[in-house]
């Protein structure tokens, strides 16, 4: 079953969605080492609810809402060889933080995302489901390295591990693969950008019939240019609304002509952007790129918002994209 997507101003999401109660319950079980049938059923129920909300809002290219991932780095660290997870460290009164520790050579152990992708795709009403992976640079930045003592070697092993996962996903039929690299904009020196570029070559080079995406947000995005434009990436997914679309001038300077997933929703504010305001954002994007190359989406994942707020924001975003398409016709 497949359904026809618009060919202009397609709507999508970055990935995460507010956690449903089933997901929170699943996290408790997982922390106790229980990943039995009850755990799996809870994750599936939460995933189903996230997909239903994305469908309800009318999103074209969905994600699974990352309901299985309590933390975007710890999740992958638990699945890959070479990592241990630290004991919980208290960072605020009632907030505990577990950190991945690199204790040996990092390698791919087993499929991490294929079954979840298959399940999400089976209930997505024929719409494509994008797969999101926390990128090698971010995984390394958010871990404590007790083994390599060399950022590049660790990052390249992470990239080799993810390449195996990506190949398994492509074999299963996934067509949108997104590497999330939020850490890349936080302190990126040129050397870091070049190492990240090597990692993208390992993960994405030579893949066909699949949309290769990276999502990067906040921090000093501008420091990644122009090197990042040479990465083997088809679609750049950036946070733009929060910085009043200033990034678009930079992209224009570099004659950007790849696909851009344009952030038009602020995920740090619970204010629901009116449709007209979102349409103004889309118009800014259309000054740079034709509508076939412009995807419309929130700045970042939605997990920190209340569910009702996230859903309302997405509904307005889809309506704005629909009206913008009409004005083009």
Positions that interact with Zn ion (CB under 5 A):
182, 217, 300
Cβ proximity of 132 and 166 under 8 Å:
no
Q: By C-beta, is 121 or 235 nearer to Zn ion? A: 235
With respect to Zn ion, which residue has the nearer C-beta, 39 or 245? 245
**Residue with smaller CB distance to Zn ion, 135 or 182:** 182
Residue closer to Zn ion by CB (options 82, 182) is 182
Tokens linked to 300: 């970042």
The three-state (H, E, C) secondary structure of 242-304, written as one string: HHCCCHHHHHHHCCCCCEEEEEEECCCCCCCCCHHHHHHHHHHHHHHCCHHHEEEEECCCCCC
**CB distance 43 to 76 below 8 Å:** no
Cβ at position 16, least distance to Zn ion in Å: 9
| Signed CA dihedral, 63, 203, 109, 70: sign only | negative
Contact call for residues 277 and 323 (beta carbons, < 8 A)? no
Smallest gap from residue 47 Cβ to Zn ion (A): 20
* Residue closer to Zn ion, measured from CB, 146 or 187: 187
Under a CB-based contact definition with an 8 Å cutoff, are residues 177 and 197 in contact?
Answer: no
Query: 3-state class of 281 per DSSP?
Result: helix
177 in Cβ contact with 210 (< 8 Å): yes
- How far apart, in whole angstroms, are the C-alpha atoms of residue 176 and residue 227? 23
Residues 149, 107: Cα–Cα separation, whole Å: 17
> How many whole angstroms from its chain centre is CA 188?
19
Query: Residue 156 or 300: which CB sits closer to Zn ion?
Result: 300
- What are residue 265's phi and psi, to 5 degrees? -125, 130
Q: Which is nearer to Zn ion, 47 or 185 (CB)?
A: 185
Shortest distance, position 301 Cβ to Zn ion, whole Å: 6
């Amino acid at each position: 079953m497949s359904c026809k997507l618009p060919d202009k101003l397609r709507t999508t999401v970055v990935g995460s969605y507010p956690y449903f109660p089933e997901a929170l319950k699943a996290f408790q079980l997982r922390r106790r080492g229980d990943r039995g049938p009850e755990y799996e059923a809870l994750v599936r129920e939460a995933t189903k609810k996230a997909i239903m909300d994305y469908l309800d809002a009318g999103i074209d290219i969905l994600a699974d809402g990352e309901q299985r991932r309590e933390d975007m780095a710890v999740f992958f660290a638990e699945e890959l060889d070479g990592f241990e997870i630290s004991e919980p460290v208290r960072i605020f009164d009632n907030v505990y933080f577990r950190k991945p520790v690199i204790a040996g050579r990092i390698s791919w152990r087993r499929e991490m995302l294929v079954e979840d992708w298959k399940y999400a795709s089976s209930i997505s009403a024929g719409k494509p489901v994008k797969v999101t992976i926390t990128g090698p640079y971010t995984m390394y930045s958010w871990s404590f390295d007790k083994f390599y003592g060399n950022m590049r070697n660790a990052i390249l092993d992470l990239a080799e591990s993810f390449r195996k996962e990506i190949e398994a996903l492509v074999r299963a039929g996934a067509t949108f693969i997104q590497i999330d690299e939020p850490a890349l904009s936080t302190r990126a020196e040129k050397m870091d950008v070049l190492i990240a570029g090597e990692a993208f070559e390992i993960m994405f080079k030579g893949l066909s019939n699949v949309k290769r995406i990276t999502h990067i947000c906040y921090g000093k995005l501008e420091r990644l240019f122009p090197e990042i434009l040479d990465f083997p990436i088809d679609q750049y997914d950036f946070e733009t609304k929060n910085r009043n679309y200033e990034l678009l001038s930079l992209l224009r300077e570099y004659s950007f002509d790849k696909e851009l997933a344009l952030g038009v929703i602020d995920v740090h504010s619970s204010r629901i952007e009116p449709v007209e305001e979102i349409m103004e954002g889309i118009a800014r994007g259309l000054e740079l790129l034709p509508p076939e190359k412009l995807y419309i989406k929130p700045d970042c994942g939605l997990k920190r918002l209340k569910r009702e707020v996230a859903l309302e924001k997405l509904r307005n975003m889809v309506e704005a994209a629909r009206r913008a398409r009409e004005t083009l016709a």
